[in-house]
Amino acid sequence: MNPETLIESLKNQRKIKKSNLSKYFLPVLIISFFIVQFFILPEALYADENIKSVPRQYIDTVAISAIVEDFNSDRVLWEKNPDKSIYPASITKIMTAIIVLEKANNLKEVVKISENARGRNFSSINFRVNDEITVEDLLKAALVSSNNNATIALAEYISGSEKEFVKLMNKKAKEIGALNTNFENTNGLDSENLNHRSTAKDLVRIAKYCMSDSKFRELVSLKEATIYLNGKEIIIQNTNSLLDGDFIKGIKTGYTNNAGFCLITYSKKEGVELICTVLGSSSYGRNFDTLRLLDWVYDNYKYEKIISKEKSVLDAYAGDVFSDLSFDLFTEKDFYILLNKTEDNIYFDFDIDQNIALPVLKNKSYGKVNVFLNNNRIEELDLYARSEIKSPEIEISYINSSYRELIESLLIFTLSFYFSAFTFIIIKNLIRLKSN
């Protein structure tokens, strides 16, 4: 209830004739308490479509742990307890799926359901022993309707047993860099697997790896899917209701009593791609937290071109014995960065070659520019000359010619001077001898 509604309610209450004041004392007290809470007590701001560019310090989540990262880098845009060890629930299934996609030779191959993978484990589709279903449809069942039995069937198909398959999951986690993750099963059920843990940051790493696979991307973006069990068509619905939004493209929901409500999300809007993980939230908070965080990032971050390949970045100097000239340096590509103009600071550090000799060569690197974001180096770009610059031979030739002519003139003058002086001396001596 907004403040205006609350105040109007109080005004209406004053108009009511009270025969017994104590009868209305408690309701008035409760309403007053909520007014004080709203206007006086500080509290975190949550999802509100009318609020734009909310300062970072006012963003919070129902979730125990949460993180938002730029999909195209490892840059964290917002986080809360990102390294806290938490039950990942059915988000586990994304690791199961990517290993199957990498190991399976034929997604159309038919799998027979075993005793271990039959109908149990709180699954929406109950399998029976010897039921037949393809590998691809098992993946759909696992990722779309979050079927817990499907992951067991997939594990047995790839490794012979779930236990052996889990070894592949943990090995892959370490390869990806999810070092604080330990899987004990393929579906995330944790009532008997209390060491089945991960972190929000690790799950983002795993999700980014999974999303590099086009088939995985396709499956997690399905709002509904058609699968065939023993040749019978079954339509399944995705457990992720956020897929109804235009910019949400996956990835996976999760829930257990230990984990609470979890969600890992991939979104793309106006060219900005994000991965968001919330763990340990509530049934309402899971979507609420996710949309709140994504909206905040989209409101505050935009891609900005900070270096243009068409504009020179810096001047450099080249020379030889006779000349010294400057030339422009360019990058090979435009450089964009996801930027929060109210928070982020960018600066450049240049490392330009010294004593560059002529000729300057086209497309040769003559230095580097390092781009720093908030004191962290995020990119190093080579700097190139756009065109060849030769030694100015004509000008140098002209100078040499001038010097040569000058020397020749001086030499002729000197010789003429000495010849004239010598001739004068001889004539003078002859005249003196004749006089004597």
Question: Would you name the residues annotated as active-site residues?
Answer: 90, 93, 146
Burial class of residue 201 in the structure, from the number of CB atoms within 10 Å of its CB (0-12 exposed, 13-18 middle, 19+ buried): buried
Q: Which DSSP category does 433 fall into?
A: H
- Reported as type and span, the H/E element at residue 167 is helix 162-176
- Cα–chain-centroid distance for residue 116? 40
- Whether residue 359 is preceded by a cis peptide bond, meaning omega within 30 degrees of 0, is yes
Distance CA 95, CA 88 (A): 11
* Residues 372/351, Cβ–Cβ less than 8 Å: no
Burial of 312 per CB tally in 10 Å (0-12, 13-18, 19+): middle
Which candidate, 119, 112, 114, 116, places its Cα nearest to that of 135? 112
User: Do residues 147 and 239 lie in contact, with contact meaning Cβ atoms separated by under 8 Å?
Assistant: no
Which element (helix H / strand E) includes 291? Answer: helix 285-300
The rounded distance, in Å, linking the Cα atoms of 3 and 134 is 56
**Are the C-beta atoms of residues 176 and 41 closer than 8 Å to each other?**
no
Q: Are 26 and 243 in contact (CB under 8 A)?
A: no
Alpha-carbon separation of residue 273 from 75, 82, 251 (angstroms): 12, 19, 13
